């Protein structure tokens, strides 16, 4: 049986729950609900698990805060005895329009503190990352407020469909592999 570690990046605490920066948590919550599983508090994060077509998906929402995400990724990779090619990191991306989906198999942190932490702790940039576009509708110097801000009413209306598409992308990553998933979902 193949196993995959799916890590959604975000910040813990109710004040961050509906912020753009927490889209990784929101996507994992959607996946857990879809597969009728729930998160339990564990070391360095909340953990849920489901099986789909002979594959096991371990979902982790780190409790380390965004800029220490690498610590949780490293711990859970070791605990689950997984290689980097069976890991998917989910994050927000201001360089993509709202709701855009992009899977990449390697790359820089792009200024994202969560990915920066993963790169530093794992000492590599060669791992799959799923970037969910949050747009860049902010004025100069207001990026932090935008990223840590809540979704607009228009974004909230479109979010349910985008979360379902995101859940399908994650399932495809485990079932069809990264290349096929990129061909199917990138740019949607």
Domains along the chain with CATH numbers: 2-185 (3.40.50.1470)
Q: What is the CA radius of gyration of the chain?
A: 15
Q: How far apart are the first and last CA of the chain?
A: 30
Q: Measured between alpha carbons, how far is 176 from 119 in angstroms, rounded to an integer?
A: 25
**pLDDT reported for residue 178:** 94
pLDDT at 181: 96
Provide the pLDDT for residue 80: 95
Which 3-state string (H, E, C) describes 161-181?
A: HHHHHHHHHHHHHHHHCHHHH
Q: Which residues are catalytic?
A: 21
Q: Which residues contact 99 (CB under 8 A, 6 or more apart)?
A: 132, 133, 155, 158, 159, 162
* pTM, full prediction: 0.94
pLDDT tens for the chain, 188 residues long, are 699 999 999 999 889 889 999 999 999 999 999 999 999 999 999 999 999 999 999 999 999 988 899 999 999 999 999 999 999 999 999 999 999 999 999 988 888 989 999 999 999 999 999 999 998 878 787 788 888 889 999 999 999 999 999 999 999 999 999 999 999 999 88
């Amino acid at each position: 049986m193949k196993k995959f570690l799916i890590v959604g990046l975000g910040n813990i605490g109710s004040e961050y729950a509906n912020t753009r920066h927490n889209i990784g948590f929101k996507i994992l919550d959607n996946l857990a609900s879809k597969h009728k599983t729930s998160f339990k508090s564990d070391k360095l994060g909340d953990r849920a698990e489901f099986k789909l077509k002979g594959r096991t998906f371990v979902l982790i929402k780190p409790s380390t805060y965004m800029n220490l995400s690498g610590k949780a990724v490293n711990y859970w990779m070791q605990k689950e005895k997984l290689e980097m090619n069976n890991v998917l990191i989910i994050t927000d991306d201001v360089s993509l329009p709202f709701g855009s989906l992009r899977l990449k198999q390697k790359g820089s942190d792009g200024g994202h503190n969560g990915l920066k932490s993963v790169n530093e702790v794992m000492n590599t940039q060669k791992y799959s990352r799923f970037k969910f576009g949050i747009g860049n509708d902010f004025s100069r110097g207001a990026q932090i407020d935008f990223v840590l801000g809540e979704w607009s009413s228009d974004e909230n209306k479109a979010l349910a469909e985008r979360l379902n598409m995101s859940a399908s992308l994650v399932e495809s990553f485990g079932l069809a592999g990264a290349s096929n998933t990129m061909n199917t979902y990138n740019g949607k």
